[in-house]
Amino acid sequence: MSALLQVENVTMRFGGLVALNNVSFSVARGGVLAIIGPNGAGKSTLFNVITGVYRPTSGRVTFDGAEITGRPSYQVVQRGIARTFQSSRLFSDLSVLDNVIIGMHTRTKTGVLGALFAPAASRREMAACVDRAEALLKLGSGDLFEQRYRLAGTLAQADRRRLEIARALASQPKLLLLDEPSVGMDETETDALIADIVRLRATDPNLSVILIEHDMRVVEAFPGHVMCIDYGSRIAEGDFAAVRADPHVQEAYLGKAAAHA
């Protein structure tokens, strides 16, 4: 089976700073990749390169058979990649429900002329969006559905993360990029998050997920394919056990002395 996402020799430079150094990996259809690494290692930058926020200095990104290197974000989303942000970027002054509906932007098509001259069709499309959004909100852990008419900016931290995921799912992506989804969650909430992701994959086996995580409990739940990045370079890749035992990984997290202790 050909890979859904192929990242080849991607390097990202910001002036003199090398944020990503010759990173290569691939994700299969229906696969889960967990990316770990110390803070500032370049993990979010990787997401930004894949989703078109940054154009890589060199290298290629291929998705679903087509090259998407440097394509603008909104086109990348249209092709089926959705993402969440490390610090939730919700639309704070809009309702929870509206946030999810906006996530459906690429799956709807009413334009200006349609909205003005075919209002019935526009309303119908919007009503369908509302139904789907409400269904999505009901699916996840937490009580986002009950809070659907709250301003997104007033949500508790765990709910913000959940809303980000719901919004990302609204576009019916083939590849879901989650940037530290468990930030700010306690144990119970993290378990619920893991359950959510497991259920997602059960409902849609073709959905691929890339996960940036610091919480090893989450990584442990998806131990099949793990990659460690430090200083922009890939320093280890394999299953969870192998990566964890890798001395380079230990050095990156714990320092030289501890690694060789």
Partner 1 sequence: MTELLVQQLVNWITLGCIYALLAIGFSLIFGVLNVIHFSHGDVAMTAPFITLALAQALATALGASGTIWLLAAAPLAVLAVGLIGVLLDRLVIRRFRDAPAMMALVATVALGIVIRELIRHVYPQGSNPHAFPRLVSGMAFEIVGVPVSWFALLVVFLTVALVAALFFFLRMTPLGLRIRAASEDRVVARMMGIHDSRVFRATFFIASAIGAIAGLLFASYAGVTRFDFGVMAGLLGFSAAVIGGLGSMPGAILGGLIIAGIEVLSQTFVPDGASYRLVFVFLLVIGVLVFRPAGLLGRAVMEKV
Partner 2 sequence: MTMSVSSPTPGKGAAGLFTVVSQLCGAAYLYLLLKAAEAWQVVALLALLGLGFYLLEKRASISDYALDSFARVPVLAVATAAIIVLAFPFVVGSNTYILHLLIVAQLYSVLALALNFQLGSANIPNFATGASYGIGAYVSALLAINFGLSFWLTLPIAALAATLFGFIIGIPSMRARDTYLALVTIAFGVVVQQLLNNFTWTGGPNGLVGIPAPSLFGHSFADPLFVFGWKLPSQANFYYLAAALVVVAIVTAHRLHGSRIGLAWNALRADEIAAKAQGINVAWFKVLAFAVDAFLAAFAGTIYAFYVSYISPDNFTFLVSVTIMTMVIVGGMDNIFGVIAGAFLLTILPEKLRAFEDYRLLVFGVVIIGFLMIRPQGLFPQRMRRYGGKP
> Of 48-77, which residues contact partner 2 (CB under 8 A)?
51, 53, 72-74, 77
CB of 36 to partner 2, least distance (A): 23
Query: Which residues, other chains included, contact 154 with Cβ-Cβ below 8 Å and sequence gap of 6+?
Result: none
From the CB of 48, what's the least distance to partner 2, in Å?
A: 10
Helix (H, G, I), strand (E, B) or coil at 107: helix
Q: Binding of partner 2 at residue 86 (CB under 8 A)?
A: no
Sign for the pseudo-dihedral over CA of 48, 201, 199, 91? positive
Instruction: Pick from 28, 53, 126, 183 the residue near partner 1 by CB under 8 A.
Output: 53
For residue 134, give every residue at least 6 positions away whose Cβ sits within 8 Å of its Cβ, in sequence order, or none: 97, 145, 148
- Sheet bearing 66-67, strands edge to edge: 17-28, 3-14, 58-63, 66-67
CB of 259 to partner 2, least distance (A): 37
Site string for partner 2, 159-198 (x = CB under 8 A): --------x---x---------------------------
Return the closest-CA partner of residue 7 out of 99, 129, 21. Answer: 21
| Chain residues that interact with partner 2, rule: CB under 8 A | 51, 53, 72-74, 77-78, 82-83, 85, 89-95, 97-98, 101-103, 105-106, 108-112, 114-116, 119, 122-123, 125-127, 130, 146-151, 154, 167, 171
